[in-house]
Amino acid sequence: MKIIYTTLMALGLIMPVMAQNRQVEESQITLNLLLPGVIYEAAVGDRSTMALEGTIGFQYVESSFSESGFGIYPIGRLQYRNYLNFDRRLSKGKNIAGNSGNYIAPLLAVQGGKAFIGDLDFYEDYFALAGAVYGLQRTGKKGLQFRFEVGPAYLFSEYDGGFAIATALKLGFVLGKSRR
């Protein structure tokens, strides 16, 4: 019992010190503009975050061989971001507010195959992607955020699979104020 009590007391003293060294935002919500959606990013370490994103995808097909149509599909993404260059950015007098920095992240994404708006449905019920990306994220003083990421991934569905390049280009606004 003494060991448990001592451990809890030590963690109670250490945790506030660890929180002071944290360089990422405790949490932030970003609204995407290019593909409407929302991202919730929460700190899980000194320089790492979990990012959960819900967005929509759009596809339009016009063909003389098959039916033409469009569809809007739900997409969910999950990343564990490890930010790499905060110290260098700070030493150059640059901003790290809003998690402005470069990161590497494993990525898991799932897209529905049935359009919730439109008439373009795929044979598959879902598409999924698992991979790793290198990303750049910059957040301005007014909350405007730009993000670009790219990396290798494996794309699969119920019936097929293969390697692909995962890319994302996002433009949005961070809600609320950053801690810096």
Residue 119 pLDDT level (bands cut at 50, 70, 90): confident
The answer to which of 95-99, 115-119, 174-178 has the lowest mean pLDDT is 174-178
pLDDT recorded at residue 177: 67
Residue 3 β-bridge partners: none
Residue 125 gets the label, from left (phi > 0), alpha (psi -120 to 50) or beta, of alpha
pLDDT recorded at residue 133: 98
Residue 64 pLDDT level (bands cut at 50, 70, 90): confident
CB of 159 within 8 A of CB of 123?
yes
Reduced to 3 states, what is the DSSP secondary structure of residue 5? helix
In whole angstroms, give the CA distance from residue 120 to residue 113: 9
Residue 20 pLDDT level (bands cut at 50, 70, 90): low
- Domain extent listing, the chain: 23-175
Task: State the average pLDDT over residues 47-68.
Answer: 86
Q: Amino acid identity, residue 125?
A: D
Residue 179 pLDDT level (bands cut at 50, 70, 90): low
- The predicted-structure confidence for 145-169, as pLDDT tens digits, reads as follows 999 999 999 999 988 899 999 999 9
